[in-house]
Amino acid sequence: MGWVKIKLSDVIKNREGRYKPNDPAIKGLKRIDKINFLGQIFLSDKNSNTDMILIKKGDLVISGINVEKGALAIYEGEENILATIHYSSYIFDKTKVDIDFLKIFLRSPDFIQLLKEQVPGGIKTEIKPKHILSLEVYFPETTREQKAIAQLFFEREAKLILLNKDLSHQLTLLENLNQAILQEAVQGKLVQQDPKDEPATELLKRIKAEKAKSGKNEKPLPPIKPEEIPFEIPSNWVWCRLGEIIEYTDNLDIQKHLSPDTIINYVDIDAIDNHNFVIREAKQKTVRELSTRARRVLKPNFIAYSTVRPYLKNIAVIEDDLENYIGSTGFNVFKTLNVELKYAFYYLLTPYVNNSFKDLMVGFNSPSITNDQFEKSLFPLPPLSEQKRIVAEIEKQLAKTKQLKEHIIANQQATEQLLKALLHQAFEVEEMEEVNS
Tell me the per-residue pLDDT of 157-204, one tens digit each, with 9 for 90 and over.
Answer: 899 989 999 999 999 999 999 999 999 999 999 999 999 999 999 999
pLDDT tens for each residue of 106-157: 888 888 888 778 766 655 568 888 888 988 888 998 999 999 999 998 999 8
11: which residues sit within 8 A by CB, 6+ positions away? Answer: 92, 93, 96, 97, 102, 139
Q: Which of 119-123, 244-248, 295-299 has the lowest mean pLDDT?
A: 119-123
* Nearest-angstrom CA–CA distance, 300 and 319: 5
Domain boundaries, the chain: 3-141, 198-382
Q: Note the CATH number of domain 198-382.
A: 3.90.220.20
**307 — pLDDT class (breaks 50, 70, 90):** very high
More confident site: 95 or 121: 95
3-141 and 198-382: identical CATH topology: yes
pLDDT of residue 67 exceeding 80, the answer is no
Which are the contacts of 237, defined by CB distance < 8 A and separation ≥ 6? 188, 200, 380, 381, 382, 383
Q: Which fold has domain 3-141?
A: Adenine-n6-DNA-methyltransferase TaqI; Chain A, domain 2 (3.90.220)
Contact 46, 84 (CB under 8 A): no
The percentage of residues in the chain with a pLDDT greater than 90, rounded to a whole number, is 70
Q: How far apart are CA 347 and CA 180, in angstroms?
A: 12
pLDDT at position 433 over 60: no
d(CA 88, CA 367): 39
Q: Convert the pLDDT of each residue in 209-228 to its tens digit.
A: 988 887 777 788 999 999 99
Proportion of the chain above pLDDT 70, given as a percent: 95
